[in-house]
Structure formats: C-alpha cells, structure tokens
Amino acid sequence: MEKKQFKAESKKLLDLMINSIYTNKEIFLRELVSNASDAIDKLHYRSLTDKTVKVDVEDFAIDISIDKEKRTLTIADNGCGMTDKELETNLGTIAKSGTLAFKEENNPKDMDIIGQFGVGFYSAFMVSEHIQVISKAHDSEKAYMWESYGADGYSITEAKRDSNGTTIILTIKEDTEHDKFSDYLDTDKVRAIVKKYSDYIRYPIRMDVTERKLKEGSEDEYEDVTTNEIVNSMLPLWKKNKKEIKEEEYNNFYHNNFFDYADPLKTIHTSVEGLCSYNALLYIPEHAPYDFYSKDYEKGLQLYSNGVLIMDSCSDLLPDYFSFVKGLVDSSDLSLNISREMLQHDHQVRLIAKNIEKKIKKELEDMRDNDRDKYEKFYEAFGMQLKFSVYNEFGRDKEELKDLLLFYSSKQKKMVTLKEYCDNMVDKQEKIYYACGESNAKIELMPQIEQFKEKEYDVLYLTEYVDEFTVQALMEYNGKKFANISSEGLDLGDEENSKKIEKENKDNKDMLELMKATLNDDVHDVRFTSRLKKHPVCLTTEGPISIEMEKVMRAMPTEEKIKASAVLEINESHPIAEKLKKLYKKDKKELENYTKVLYAQARLIEGLPLDNPTEISNIVCDMMAK
Ligand code: ADP
C-alpha cells in the first residue's frame, strides 16, 4: 500500500493537533458533524438545481455510533461524498491555506490557532490515534478509503460502501494522565457534546442510546433497551424562538460558523414578515479579524433559501461600511438557482439588504446611547472603518454615518459624538474646533491650543490618520463648520486685538519679509499673532492641506508630494518679538539665525523633521557660546 506524505503545511498543523495541549478537545466532534452537514447540504442543493440528481430529502441523516471494545467512534453521513481525488486534495492538504502562514507571522499560542480557525477535519487527531475515512461520491460507482495514523502519512485505497456519503471511523486514543479520551466512547457524554455544539444542525443526528428499563410485565427485573434516537432539535438556530435561545447557544453558533474564538460583542436576531420575509442572525465581532483592514478581507453574509445554504458569502447583503458584520440571512422568497451575478439586481435581495442595513444602524445607535462602554469597544475595533467610509466615495455615505462617529473631547475628557460636542458648545462658539496630532498628550502640548483652553472652548483631538480626512469630508455638522486650530487666520482674539496685530504686521513688514526670505520656500508667510499665550512660535497652515495631512501623504507611495502651505507665527507678546525687532535694526545676520532657529522649533513642536539639523545645532551652540 502506497504511503503518501502530507504537504508540509498540513504536516505542521497535524503535529500541532497530535501533540495538542488544547483543553477543549471535544470540538473535534462539532467539526466532523458540521462537515457531514455541509456534505448533505451540497447534495441537497445539487438535487434542487439539477433534475438528474435524485435524492429523498427524508433520508438525509448523520449517524454516530460507538464501539467500546474496538475503541471506535464513527460518524457517517449520506451527503455528497468524495472521490479518490477529492480525498487526496481535501484531506491531504490543509484547506484553509494561509492559516499557518498567519500563525508564523503573528506567533499566537498553538491553542489560539485551534480556537481561532476551527481547523476542521484534522482536529480529530487530537483524540484519535487512527482515522479511516470511507467515502463514495454521489455520482461515482467506486468507494475509497483514506487512512492515517497521523504524522507518518496517509494512504488511499479502494473500499466498499453501499451508497453515497462518508463514514469516518476514529480509533480513540488511550487515556493519559491529563486527558480522559474514553469520554468520547461514552454515549451520554457524546450525546451531550452533540447537543451543545450541533443542536441546530438541520439533519437528524442519530445515535443508539441504551437505557436500563423495567422488563415488561415485571416489577423488579430490568433489561437494557437500545433505541435509535435523534439527538438534535434540528431547528436552525435562527428559526427558533428568540426567548428560548440561551446566549451560549448564539455564541457557540458564532464560534462554529464564523471562525472567531472570542464571543461576539453583539448578537442581532431578527425576523421580518411582509413584502419580503426573512430571518437574519447577525453578529458584531468584538475585535477586527486579523485581515480586516487589508484587501484580502471579504465582507458578506451567508445566504439561505428556506434553510438551504445557497451562498457562503453574499456581499450584496452588506454595505461596505458595515463590512465587519458576520452572520446569515434565510429567506423563503429567494430562488435557489440564483447566481452571484443575478443577486446584485435581485429585487428581494436589495430589499433585504436595505432592511438589514437599517437594523444594524439602529442597533449601533442603541448601543451608543444606552451602553456607551460597549460602543466604545466596538468603536475601537471598527471606528476606523466608519471614518474611512465617511470620506470614501466622495462622502457619499457621510449623512448615514456621521452620528456614529466618536472623537476625544478636550473639555469632557472622553469620547463624544458630534452632537454631544455641539450640545456642549459655549454660546459664542461658531465652529467645531479640532486639533491633530499623534496622541492626546502631544496635542495637549501644542502652542495653538492655549487660547482655546482660556476661552473654555471644547476641542476634538484627532489622533488617527483618517480623522482629518473624515472631518474634511463632513465639512460641517448641524450647520457648524469644522475648523483646525492650526489653520492660519483662526484667531479667537477680539477685534481690538486683531487691529493691533494687523498694525504690528504692517509696521514690521520689511523685517517679516526678510525672515520669510531667509526660510526660502519653506514657509508661505511669517507673521505676528496673538493666538499664542506662553509659547513663542507655532506653525499654522493655509488652505485645505494641514501639516498632519502632509505627514500622511508623505508616507503614501504616490509620486506627488503634496505640501502643506505653512505659516510661521510669532507670539506678539513674547519677549522674543522685541528682540527680533532690535536685531533687524542692529544685526541682520543674527536675525537670520534667530529666524532659522525659531522655524526649527516650530517644526519640532509639530513633530516634523528638520532638513538642516546640523546647521541649527551649530547656530544654537554659537548663540550659547556668546
Ligand atoms: P473545511 O470544512 O473548513 O473546508 P476541513 O478540513 O474540515 O475544512 O475539511 C476539508 C474538506 O474536506 C471540506 O471542505 C470538504 O470538501 C471535505 N470533507 C470533509 N468532510 C467531509 C464529508 N463528511 N463529506 C464530504 N466532504 C467532506
């Protein structure tokens, strides 16, 4: 018998399973039962769409049996089965390619990987020393057996099986100090595991159950009676009465179907009757999947037609901005033969999608208003997606999303919605002020922020790179425009003050021109300001590109290097102002040096690099030596 080796990647996963210290080993049964159910689904679906495939739906079943003597646990289904080729490709290589690549990159504990990805068939090696898979494809005459003792490879040989389907025979490991593998040979225990994880499976899961019963006609004599029992309730979870479903059941279903080890943050179970009837079971994950913010991530919901799975991931059911939602939709109004291309234009699907979108939004708003801690958790994971979606597509969806946004408020010292910001405005405040920086702590130190603090104006702190693009796309909220505290001309001073500054700038025009010339093309202007309190200088910008945006765009791999149009502002009431004026009269060379140092300081405060660090350091040292 020819022995084949597992593919390198599969072997690694297998070793992981065989030597697993994962405590929750019982999940192997869930994996095998759901594979069996999937296989029946496939055949069921084929029979509905292809008239030449004939089946009797009533016969569909999964049978579990135990042989204590031989230490075997057997799971058999009458689904689509596998050809020899399919046995080879499906069981010889790991299906979820990329799983291990991910593991190596991120190096989570072995245990996590099992929970996280639900590694499927191979998990049976956690409890078995020998596995036989006997399968006959529904359109094939021949049956084959795939067999393996684990790491040293597998073989595929011809076998006998009367009808289509797959039988998996596990020879259960001997008990060890840590693991009581014999539990998987105990009818009651196995039945309980099936009930726990696979209750909703739509096909009957049958088991022989033996009970001690009083002998007929006797009052004290007992006998063992074996009956074949259906273990699961068979009603799909989403069709059950909400009141009868425990949170644990929802969570188990989620782990099982959507490959997430953590419990969902929120479960949404809804059924709609009317123009278009459907049940939906939706989950908002607690954390973003590892590939969520990459182009590999695919949004979508499972789509069922009256209980039959017709598509594993239907992207038309979710708007891009809610791409993080997992779950399924089951509708009896859908045609089974519907193709991916047709879906987009299908009236029913569009109606369902619209409804689902509304429902998700409503649930998020509810969470925002009634469970803010949870909402903040959600926002931490997916806020970026919402903000990104506000400016995506030229702000097409901004109205839909603007009230779901949160930003940090300087005055309220917590995350607030834009409405909460506006409700808290000081009477005279006309704009929504925001400041951009790497962190709240860094923004706190910005010179520009002083005047806002003094006036007790609330400022939103934008610390993520998408933030500023987002507020620029919004442009305004409830008629209030957004204003960057670092933008030129944003001076909260009164009229008298601004007249004074205007005069200052006029009187010292030549000096300021000279300073600007010293800085070449680096700044657009140099001027006095009254916006600063203690700090001597700051950089502000003119036009739509702020300094933070320049930083972001610099980091992008585009040819075009967009530059913010910067203005060097000097605190008119700081002693440095007088000093500069003096130097202009006495020592123009030194004024140039001062200008360079002041500009360098302003850049450093903004977190921008210096183009001429050596020159600046030398100038400063010369000044110190004087
Ligand atoms: P997954 O189910 O996530 O694809 P598995 O490792 O559990 O990964 O299974 C690999 C593949 O083997 C499945 O995709 C399916 O094609 C096939 N398979 C597993 N069990 C069965 C079964 N009972 N009947 C038919 N095919 C099966």
> Each residue of 541-587: pLDDT tens digit?
887 778 777 777 777 665 566 677 889 999 998 999 999 999 999 99
List the Cα angle 451/454/459 in 5-degree steps: 70
CA gyration radius, the chain: 34
Percent residues over pLDDT 90 in the chain: 55
- Which residue has better confidence, 40 or 313? 40
114 CB burial (10 A radius; 0-12, 13-18, 19+): buried
Measured in degrees and rounded to the nearest 5, phi and psi for residue 577 equal: -60, -45
- In this prediction the pTM is 0.70
Q: For the ranges 136-150, 351-365, 394-408, 597-611, which has the lowest average pLDDT?
A: 597-611
Q: Is the pLDDT of residue 169 over 60?
A: yes
Name the residue at shortest CA distance from atom 15 of ligand 1.
90
pLDDT for residue 561: 63
Q: For the ranges 58-72, 306-320, 368-382, 467-481, which has the lowest average pLDDT?
A: 306-320
Residue 449 near residue 443 (C-beta atoms within 8 A): yes
Rounded CA separation 619/612 (Å): 11
Q: Is the pLDDT of residue 108 over 60?
A: no
- Is domain 237-370 in CATH 1.10.3450.40, yes or no? no
DSSP class per residue in 69-98: TTTEEEEEE-SS---HHHHHHHHHS-SSTT
- The answer to whether the Cα torsion of 23, 28, 29, 33 is positive or negative is positive
pLDDT for residue 528: 93
Confidence of residue 336 (pLDDT cuts 50, 70, 90): low
Distance 36 CA to ligand 1 centre (A): 8
Mean pLDDT of 67-86: 96
Rounded CA separation 441/16 (Å): 44
User: Dihedral (C-alpha) 541, 545, 547, 550: value to the nearest 10 degrees?
Assistant: -150
Nearest atom in ligand 1 to 79's CA: 24
Ligand 1 binding pocket mutation candidate from 90, 136, 258 (most atoms within 8 A of CB)? 90
Fold assignment, 11-230: Heat Shock Protein 90 (3.30.565)
Distance 18 CA to ligand 1 centre (A): 19
Domain ranges of the chain: 11-230, 237-370, 407-625
Confidence of residue 340 (pLDDT cuts 50, 70, 90): low
pLDDT tens-digit map of 447-486: 888 888 888 999 999 998 889 889 989 999 999 999 999 8
Second-level CATH architecture of 407-625: Up-down Bundle (1.20)
DSSP class per residue in 449-484: GHHHHHTT--EEEE-SHHHHHHHHHH-EETTEEEEE
Name the residue at shortest CA distance from atom 18 of ligand 1.
35
Residue 501 near residue 532 (C-beta atoms within 8 A): no
- Output the ligand 1 site: residues, CB below 6 A: 31, 35-36, 39, 77, 79-82, 90-91, 95, 120-121, 166
Per the structure block, which two tokens stand in for 366? 């509810």
pLDDT for residue 147: 95
Q: Is the pLDDT of residue 190 over 50?
A: yes
- Which residue has better confidence, 340 or 356? 356
Residue with tokens 């130190």: 445
Mean pLDDT of 159-164: 96
List the Cα angle 608/614/617 in 5-degree steps: 85
Confidence of residue 490 (pLDDT cuts 50, 70, 90): low
Name the residue at shortest CA distance from atom 16 of ligand 1.
90
Confidence of residue 107 (pLDDT cuts 50, 70, 90): very low
CB atoms within 10 A of CB 157: 12
Nearest atom in ligand 1 to 34's CA: 2
Mean pLDDT of 371-389: 96
pLDDT tens-digit map of 393-407: 888 999 999 999 999
Query: For 6, which DSSP code?
Result: P
